[in-house]
Amino acid sequence: MVLCWIRDEIPEKNSDPHMKYPGQYLTPEELYITTGVRLSQVPLEHLTNEDRLAELRKFKGYVYNDYVTIVRGKTEEEKIKMKAYMTEHIHHDPEVRLIVDGSGYFEVRDIDDNWVRMHVFPGDLIDLPTGIFHRFSLDNDEYVRMHRLFTDVPDWTAVNRTDIITHPSRDRYLDYMNQV
Ligand code: KMT
Ligand code: NI
């Protein structure tokens, strides 16, 4: 089950929960209305990875997938990657991730530019719409493994918020939010 809440503004130690005082969880419906993010659950038990993929493909038409494991960075390369994940960015494509092991925090900006934190666990499937500002941090367990799914050839380009003047994916997101 994904737990969601509005995050405080304290920038240190992102692996802590950072729930904004006085603290309240958002329902999946509230999350959808304020961000456009959809959450669902995939039963991981009793299914091999291949079976699970076949199910997901039927459901959404995903054509590309791979796995990514993230651990607290020890090497310089890992540290750079962690920093990139935690830098606010958008993509041309939706960001679809199935958590298969471990846990972590996805953060998305809501329509009022608050950070909404989603604590994700195995079996959680998150679907971040194209053009939503987001970032990712490990929690204090310092490990997550995710299945990444794409409906097209993957485009890994991350456009950081500071670089953005206008971006087509941002216009698509704002159009999409008008229909939510
Ligand atoms: C990304 O674009 O890869 C992210 O936002 C990080 C979380 S998934 C590895
Ligand atoms: Ni991303």
Tell me the residue ranges of DSSP E strands in 21-155. 25-26, 38-41, 64-71, 89-90, 95-102, 104-109, 115-120, 124-128, 134-138, 143-150
Query: 148-169, pLDDT tens digit by residue?
Result: 988 888 888 899 998 767 889 9
Cα 65 off chain centre by? 16
| Cα end-to-end span (Å), the chain | 23
Domain count, the chain: 1
- Cβ(85)–Cβ(109) below 8 Å: no
How many secondary structure helices (H) and strands (E) does the chain include?
A: 4, 12
Q: Return the pLDDT at 91.
A: 92
If DSSP states are collapsed to H, E and C, what string results for 56-82? HHHHHCCCEEEEEEEECCCCHHHHHHH
Q: Return the pLDDT at 88.
A: 96
Ligand 1 site residues, Cβ closer than 6 angstroms? 68, 85, 95, 97, 134, 136, 146, 158
Average pLDDT over residues 40-62: 76
Q: Return the pLDDT at 159.
A: 92
> Is the model more confident about 139 or about 73?
139
With a cut of 80, say whether residue 87 has pLDDT above it.
yes
With a cut of 80, say whether residue 117 has pLDDT above it.
yes
Residue 49: which pLDDT band, with cuts at 50, 70 and 90?
Answer: confident
Domain extent at residue 36: 3-179
| SS3 at position 33 | helix
With a cut of 80, say whether residue 123 has pLDDT above it.
yes
Amino acid at 19: M
Burial of 53 (0-12, 13-18, 19+ CB in 10 A): middle
Residues 65, 91: Cα–Cα separation, whole Å: 17
Share of the chain above pLDDT 70, in %: 98
Q: Return the pLDDT at 169.
A: 93
Query: Whose CA is closest to atom 9 on ligand 1?
Result: 68
CATH (domain of 15)? 2.60.120.10
Chain length of the chain: 180
Query: Whose CA is closest to atom 1 on ligand 1?
Result: 85
134 annotated to bind ligand: yes
6 HSE (CA, 13 A, CB side): 13
89 annotated to bind ligand: yes
Average pLDDT over residues 42-66: 76
